[in-house]
Chains A and B, each alone.
Chain A
Amino acid sequence: MEMMSVYSSLELDRAEGLAIDELIARSQQPIPDPDRWLEEERRPNVLITSVDAVLNWGRRSSVWPVNFGLACCAFEMIATAVSRFDIARFGMELFRASPRQADLMIVSGTLTWKMAPQLKRIYEQMPEPKWVLAMGVCAISGGTFAGSYSVVPGVNRIVPVDVYVPGCPPRPEALLYGIGMLHQKIAKDSIAVKR
């Protein structure tokens, strides 16, 4: 009998609405950007730095993004992926349909509160190390819809963001620049840093 209630559309709507209300109440403050570890005190060691160099080279040379297009920015992301701008130059042409195989989440566009739980869940299902790139002003701050009841004012309310790419929408060159910034950030990663 319990199953029946789950499949009823009214009950489903109510349950979803309550979950989203609860998420909105929990997400009033932005999550701080994960950049504290960049300034952390480190004692370099030949073994650690050489392992770091190999590991970070591998990680930044094949950052596989999760296939997650939200709004109009997704078209710029697609344009970046295909032949003219050719994201394959950075080993990133494999947009994975499953978060299990992905390292980077490009949040491309407006995130609504209704979509937010799914974004959070997909992010949580990605294996570490994982990075998030907020693409476009909507993903950064809500943009034009910042005051709207239905739009998340910045995806950093939901997931920690590593790189912000401004623009409405950002051109593919801007996205590639943001990816370059992410590569620089990955290059600073170390196995000695506890995160």
Chain B
Amino acid sequence: MQFEANYGYIALLLIVAIIFAASLIFLPFILSRLGIIPRKPDPVKTSTYECGMETVGKSWVQFNFRYYFYALLFVLFDIETVFLYPWAVHFKQLKLFGLVEMLIFIFVLAIGFVYAWRKGALEWK
């Protein structure tokens, strides 16, 4: 009996939460339809906000393709760091097995790194 009563409270909370969220989404639509919320779009208001400045030029600017290599290499080392941290924290518990596993992991990443190096991805031409 006790459990059922508790679940009842959760169901009540769920219903209230759904009604609250739905009303927050639909109330502005309804009030806007009724004309209670003012809606006055104009070219200045709908234009891009750029700290009050008028925007100049297009937003489609070309970047140097070399940044792409750097982003890829960054992801490589980022993932390495992400895996190294928990391994370092539990280094003593994992013992030799963890060390060997991590050496294999770094070896796999090193192959990719050497490949990128040999291909000249680290040089800014």
Contact = CB atoms under 8 A, between A and B. Distances in A.
Given A99-B49, A118-B52, A121-B52, A128 B40 contact: yes
Interface string A92-127: 000000111000000000000000011101101101
Interface string B37-60: 011101011010101111011000
Interface in A102-157: 117-119, 121-122, 124-125, 127-129
Contacts of A117: 52
Provide the main secondary structure of the chain B interface.
Answer: loop
Contacts of A55: 36
Contacts of A127: 45
Nearest to A195: B38
Provide the main secondary structure of the chain A interface.
Answer: helix
A38 interface: no
Interface size class of B (residues with CB under 8 A): 10 to 19
A191 B36 contact: yes
Interface of A: 3, 6-7, 51, 55, 98-100, 117-119, 121-122, 124-125, 127-129, 191, 195
30 contacts: A3-B57, A7-B57, A55-B36, A98-B49, A100-B49, A117-B52, A118-B51, A118-B52, A118-B53, A119-B52, A121-B52, A121-B53, A121-B54, A122-B49, A122-B51, A122-B52, A124-B42, A124-B44, A124-B45, A125-B44, A125-B45, A125-B47, A125-B49, A125-B52, A127-B45, A128-B38, A128-B39, A129-B38, A191-B36, A195-B38
Given A99-B49, A121-B54, A122-B52, 6 more contacts: A6-B56, A6-B57, A7-B57, A121-B44, A124-B42, A128-B40
